[in-house]
Every structure is written in structure tokens, then in C-alpha cells.
Amino acid sequence: MNSIDNLLKEFPYKIILGSGSPRRQELLKSLGFEYRLMPINADESFPSDLQAQEIPLYLAEKKADAFPDELKENELLITADTIVWCEGKVLNKPANFKEGKIMLETLSGKMHEVFTGVCLKSANKQTVFFDASKVYFKSLKNEEIEYYLTNYNPYDKAGGYGVQDWIGYIGIDKIEGSFYNVMGLPVKELFEELIKF
């Protein structure tokens, strides 16, 4: 048997994914790990003095702290949070069409950064890490923005867009760093951290 097969089969923890994000579920599954899904509803407010990667690191830990059950010795909880950071400001999930339009107009023709913070928590230890990617948008036309918001409803996504959606196909010139981090889970780093854990 291949050593990766062994590693996945003999991984000492039962993984719990504390996320309702379909993208994160799909990415963790694609890594080959079995997991149980337990979405966590945590308040996503954060102190106003936090900057860039400090925000998703704080929120990933906050989500882990909001996990309702006591973790057993053999359980490992994964929580994560992704933010879009543009010109020194965080762009959260848009509440409606109008907010989504303002966000995409803000990102149009510019580079922004996407930070994902991840928290791994067991009964007796906890580690946090983050990844950062730079995303370069072309100048988006008004009709492109409106078509996207009307047809793809990106209201559960930081910055008001999904890199794997239509707007990503037609609007992104290039990405520096991990594509999967922009989707919501830095899978390469996660795999390395799970093995270290």
C-alpha cells in the first residue's frame, strides 16, 4: 500500500469540519480525508483594529471556540475564515445586490488580497495558520457585474464573488498564490499542517 494511502487510513484523528461552505467541504474531501460535517454558527464580528490576515485568524479561532461539543481525545476540529482585503479595507459578504455591485466596482481593475485563516483544534492542542493570494481583476463592465450578481447570487462569498464562478472566468487576469486559498481553503498548507499535527 502506498504511504499516502497509509497516512490517510491511519490518520489518528476523526476530523470534524466546522463549516457550512460547500467549497470547503469539496476541497477537504478532495484531499482524501474522511470527515464529519458540523457547521458552526459563530458571530463574525471582530475588533476594528485588526488588519489583513489578523481578521480571518481571529475569526477561525472564534469559530473553533464556538463549537458546541467537548472534543474527544481522537477528534480534530477544522474551522476557517476567508476575507477579501482591498486598499486597506475588508470586504465582507454582501447583504444584497446593491452591496455586491459596490464591492465588484471596488475590485474592478485592481489587485486585491485574499486571506484565509485556518484553526486546527483537538482536545489538548490548537494551531492556527493562514495563506494569502493576490488577485488581479480586469476592468469590469457594468453589464458584466449586473449579469453576474443576477445569475450567480454570490451573497455567501467574501468580496461578493467566487473565483470558480463565471466572474472568475471572464474577470480575473491573474492570481499570485494559491487558487484554492481564494476558493476558501489553502489545501496545500492544510495538508502539511494536518500531517504535522
Catalytic residue annotation: 81
Whole-angstrom distance, CA of residue 142 vs CA of residue 50: 32
Output the CA torsion sign for 148, 51, 129, 109.
Answer: positive
* Contacts (Cβ under 8 Å, ≥6 apart) of 26: none
DSSP summary character for residue 158 = G
- 3-class state of residue 54 by DSSP: helix
3-state class (DSSP) for residue 150 = helix
**Contact between residue 13 and residue 35 where contact means Cβ atoms under 8 Å apart:** no
Spatial separation of the C-alpha atoms in residues 137 and 14, rounded to whole Å: 39
Integer CA distances (angstroms), 155 to 164, 175, 194, in order: 14, 22, 30
- Whether residue 140 contacts residue 112, with contact meaning beta carbons closer than 8 Å, is answered with no
Q: Is 67 exposed, middle or buried (0-12, 13-18, 19+ CB in 10 A)?
A: middle
| Grid cell in block for residue 123 | 482536545
